Chain A
Amino acid sequence: GDSVTQMEGPVTLSEEAFLTINCTYTATGYPSLFWYVQYPGEGLQLLLKATKADDKGSNKGFEATYRKETTSFHLEKGSVQVSDSAVYFCALRGQGGSEKLVFGKGTKLTVNP
């Protein structure tokens, strides 16, 4: 079945550091790919998405590119802020009728001032 594997955390960075959180997936066909973020005490929020190969999703300075050849969707940000501290989840939605999201285990990011 479909699955998502993402980088184990936790990740601790200093403010203005470069962030990469790796995500790879297993799925048939061409799934849609997502990054969700969960800030402390809040619900999951969609951060960015890409629906076809070579698409780049971007939001709030975060970017991720849908790489079909490597089945990857790595999350990057050039300069993190303390306010980016959260748990980040990579997810996919399979091709076809099902709307369900399949999530990775999440990566906790802490950014220190």
Chain B
Amino acid sequence: EAGVAQSPRYKIIEKRQSVAFWCNPISGHATLYWYQQILGQGPKLLIQFQNNGVVDDSQLPKDRFSAERLKGVDSTLKIQPAKLEDSAVYLCASSLAGSGGSREQFFGPGTRLTVL
């Protein structure tokens, strides 16, 4: 079974530029998560989708971050404009969730963003 795919793996941009990350979850997983992992810290949830609807985006800095999950499969996370403090690894995870499904979250390899 293929795992969670993310691209790009690495990205370097200058502050005030825009950047987008892509995630393809495990086939059939209804729930998709984006986490931000700053160096030396644990991952922090940015947004959670159930199919193509947002379940939790309480920690998403909505003035500069946006995310979508069209058709309830792939997802894109965008930052516009980027700040120095956005330098982090962005992790995508997916799970079956929902009634009767396993709630284990499977993580992708992450995208390491460096903002100069």
- Kindly identify which residue among B48, B104, B108, B109 contacts A100, using a CB–CB cutoff of 8 Å: B48
Q: Measured between C-beta atoms, what is the minimum distance from B114 to chain A in Å?
A: 17
Interface residues of A, dominant DSSP: strand
| A91–B104 touching, CB < 8 Å | no
Is A46 at the interface (CB under 8 A from chain B)?
yes
Asked, given contacts A98-B56, A100-B48, whether A43 binds B42 with beta carbons under 8 Å apart, the answer is no
CA distance A36 to B42 in the complex (A): 11
| B107–A106 touching, CB < 8 Å | no
Residues of A within 8 A of B105 (CB): 46, 99, 101
Is A27 at the interface (CB under 8 A from chain B)?
no
Is A4 at the interface (CB under 8 A from chain B)?
yes
| B48–A43 touching, CB < 8 Å | no
Residues of A within 8 A of B64 (CB): none
Residues of A within 8 A of B33 (CB): 99-100
The 8 A CB mask of B35-52 against A (1 = contact, 0 = none) is 100001111110010000
Residue from the set B35, B105, B110 with the largest chain A CB neighbour count within 10 Å: B105
A-B interface pairs (CB < 8 A), number: 52
Is B62 at the interface (CB under 8 A from chain A)?
no
CA distance A104 to B41 in the complex (A): 7
Q: Measured between C-beta atoms, what is the minimum distance from B14 to chain A in Å?
A: 26
Residue from the set A36, A44, A98, A102 with the largest chain B CB neighbour count within 10 Å: A44
| B45–A43 touching, CB < 8 Å | no
Residues of A within 8 A of B107 (CB): 36, 43-45
Residues of A within 8 A of B (CB): 4, 36, 42-46, 49, 89, 91, 93, 98-106
